[in-house]
C-alpha cells in the first residue's frame, strides 16, 4: 500500500510521519463513543486498523466480541471481508474515504475517528452526499495520540481536533453532537 505523508500535528512533516499512520487512539476517545452508542453486548465489532489494540482493549471492556485486524498482521482492510455487526476504527487518513465506502456496505453501524475538518474538503462533498453519517461527534478536547510516548517521559501537547463520524443503517440525516471527555 502506497503511503502518502500528510500532516497530523503541527510541525509533523513527511520526514517524521509514522509508518502506516500509526498513532494509537487514546482510550478516552473510544470510551466517549461507546458511552454515546450504548451498543448491546451481543454484537460483533470489527476493528480493521487495530495497530497495537488500543481501541480493541476498550471495546472488549464493554463486553463485545472484537475482531482485530491490521495491515501489519497481513489483513489489508480494503482486501478483507469479515462477518460483523459493527465496524469501529481510526482509519489510515490517506485511505479513509476507501474505508468509509467499504465499511458502510458491510456493517449496520460504522464509526470512524476522523480529523474534525474532514468533511470540510470539497473533494469529500460527494462522499458525504452519497454516504451521509447519522452523527458527527466532535470531541471537546484534543486527544493525545502520542500518549504512550508521553507516559515514558516525552514532552509535547496535542494539537489535532477529531470527531467520530457514525453511520447507522437507515439513518441518513446527519446530527452534530459534541462529546465531552469521559473520566477514566
CATH assignment at residue 68: 3.40.50.150
Task: Give, as one character, the DSSP assignment of residue 179.
Answer: B
Distance from C-alpha of 68 to C-alpha of 111, rounded to nearest angstrom: 15
pLDDT digits (tens, 9 = 90+) for 50-60: 999 999 999 99
Q: Is residue 144 part of a domain?
A: yes
Q: Is residue 51 part of a domain?
A: yes
Q: Is residue 184 part of a domain?
A: no
Q: Is residue 175 part of a domain?
A: no
Strands of the chain (E only): list them: 44-47, 65-68, 86-89, 109-115, 135-138, 162-168, 175-176
Residues 68-72, mean pLDDT to the nearest whole number: 94
pLDDT grade, residue 146 (50/70/90)?
confident
pLDDT digits (tens, 9 = 90+) for 168-181: 999 999 999 999 99
What are 123's three cell numbers?
473533494
Percent of the chain with pLDDT strictly greater than 70: 88
Q: Is residue 141 part of a domain?
A: yes
Q: Is residue 17 part of a domain?
A: no
Range of the domain at 58: 23-169
pLDDT grade, residue 116 (50/70/90)?
very high
Q: What is the pTM of this model?
A: 0.87
Is 12's pLDDT higher than 90? no
User: Distance between alpha carbon 167 and the CA centroid of its chain, in Å?
Assistant: 12
pLDDT grade, residue 21 (50/70/90)?
low
- On average, the pLDDT of the chain sits at 88
Number of domains in the chain: 1
Q: What is the phi/psi pair of residue 146, to 5°? A: -110, 20
Q: Is residue 157 part of a domain?
A: yes
pLDDT grade, residue 184 (50/70/90)?
confident
Amino acid at each position: 500500500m502506497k503511503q502518502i505523508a500528510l500532516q497530523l500535528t503541527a510541525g509533523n512533516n513527511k520526514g517524521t510521519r509514522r509508518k502506516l499512520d500509526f498513532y494509537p487512539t487514546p482510550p478516552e476517545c473510544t470510551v466517549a463513543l461507546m458511552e454515546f452508542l450504548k451498543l448491546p453486548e451481543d454484537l460483533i465489532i470489527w476493528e480493521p486498523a487495530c495497530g497495537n489494540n488500543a481501541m480493541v482493549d476498550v471495546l472488549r471492556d464493554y463486553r463485545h466480541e472484537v475482531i482485530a485486524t491490521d495491515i501489519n498482521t497481513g489483513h489489508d482492510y480494503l482486501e478483507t471481508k469479515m462477518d460483523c455487526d459493527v465496524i469501529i476504527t481510526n482509519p489510515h487518513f490517506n485511505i479513509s474515504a476507501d474505508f468509509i465506502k467499504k465499511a458502510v456496505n458491510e456493517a449496520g453501524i460504522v464509526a470512524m475517528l476522523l480529523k474534525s475538518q474532514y468533511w470540510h474538503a470539497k473533494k469529500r462533498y460527494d462522499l458525504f452526499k452519497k454516504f451521509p453519517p447519522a452523527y458527527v461527534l466532535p470531541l471537546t478536547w484534543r486527544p493525545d495520540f502520542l500518549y504512550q510516548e508521553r507516559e515514558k517521559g516525552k514532552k509535547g501537547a496535542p494539537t489535532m481536533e477529531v470527531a467520530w463520524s457514525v453511520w447507522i443503517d437507515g439513518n441518513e440525516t446527519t446530527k452534530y453532537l459534541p462529546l465531552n471527555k469521559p473520566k477514566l
